[in-house]
Amino acid sequence: MYIVIVGAGDIGTPLIEVATSGGNEVVVVEHDEERAERAAHYDCLVINDDATVKETLVDAGADRADALISTTDRDAVNIMVCLLSQELEVPNVVSVVHNPEHMSLFERVGVNTMQNPQRLIAEYLYRAVERPSIVDYMQVGEEAEVFEIDVDAGAPMAGTTISEAAQAGLLDDDLFIVAIERPDAESPVVPRGSTTIRAGDRLTVYAAAGVTDGVTSAFDTGDE
């Protein structure tokens, strides 16, 4: 893909690394000279200029880009870049939004958004302390969450089949095991009612009402 990334700060820099490592053709637009110089260490073209000027985006090839991602720390800059990108008919425009009150503005112009990444990081770190048994998680909608959790040797779920666990009340009706990663298996195990959950399994679980102590108690011993 041909990707234009606006901003080479705390969010833009790792994005540049990921995009270039993926073999994409990447052009970076960064107004700050020092940041632009740092971005030049990656396999990409860097333009040290103002992305809110249409000619700058044209110079970056936005009119032929597959996607443009705006990552600056100012919502006003991001929305201006997105509007100009739409004028240039970029097919996929994505932006960071720092202030939740600005979300509706981005949505009205039809931009795909990531809301306040700093808050997402903070919530992720807090979750790591609050529920250390959870390896990873993602919120879906207002309440639902998908999370990964390792099964402890002494957990109630260990050694039981999914059907047995449901009958014993270990799994609520709004809780679904989506996938099982097993250390000795070459590929993820597809969970079925007859599948036995083993200690050491890493489960991907969908919880319609979100993660609570009751949800995780089936998979860990609660000793963390």
pLDDT digits (tens, 9 = 90+) for 18-55: 999 999 999 999 999 999 999 999 999 999 999 999 99
Are 6 and 105 contained in the same domain?
A: yes
For residue 177, the domain's CATH number is: 3.30.70.1450
Are 103 and 184 contained in the same domain?
A: no
Q: Are 39 and 31 in contact (CB under 8 A)?
A: no
Residue 130: how many CB atoms within 10 A of its CB? 11
Are 79 and 151 contained in the same domain?
A: no
Are 92 and 36 contained in the same domain?
A: yes
Give the chain's domain count: 2
Q: Are 192 and 177 in contact (CB under 8 A)?
A: no
Q: In the listed set 86, 115, 144, which residue is the last one of a domain according to the structure?
A: 115
Q: Which residues of the chain have pLDDT under 50?
A: 224
In a domain, 120, yes or no: no
Query: Which among 60, 121, 69 is positioned nearest to 95, based on CA atoms?
Result: 69
Residue 56 tokens read as 């700058």
Are 94 and 143 contained in the same domain?
A: no
Sheet containing strand 25-29, edge to edge, reads: 45-47, 25-29, 2-6, 67-70, 93-97, 112-115
Q: What's the pLDDT at 128?
A: 67
Q: What is the pTM of this model?
A: 0.65
For residue 61, the domain's CATH number is: 3.40.50.720
Domain residue limits at 204:
131-216
Q: What's the pLDDT at 32?
A: 97
Query: Which among 27, 1, 5, 2 is positioned nearest to 14, based on CA atoms?
Result: 5
Are 106 and 148 contained in the same domain?
A: no
> In this structure, is the dihedral angle defined by the CA atoms of residues 3, 75, 119 and 113, taken in order, positive or negative?
negative
- Give backbone dihedrals phi and psi of 151, rounded to 5 degrees, phi first: -85, 120
In a domain, 125, yes or no: no
How buried is 95 (Cβ within 10 angstroms: 0-12 exposed, 13-18 middle, 19+ buried)? buried
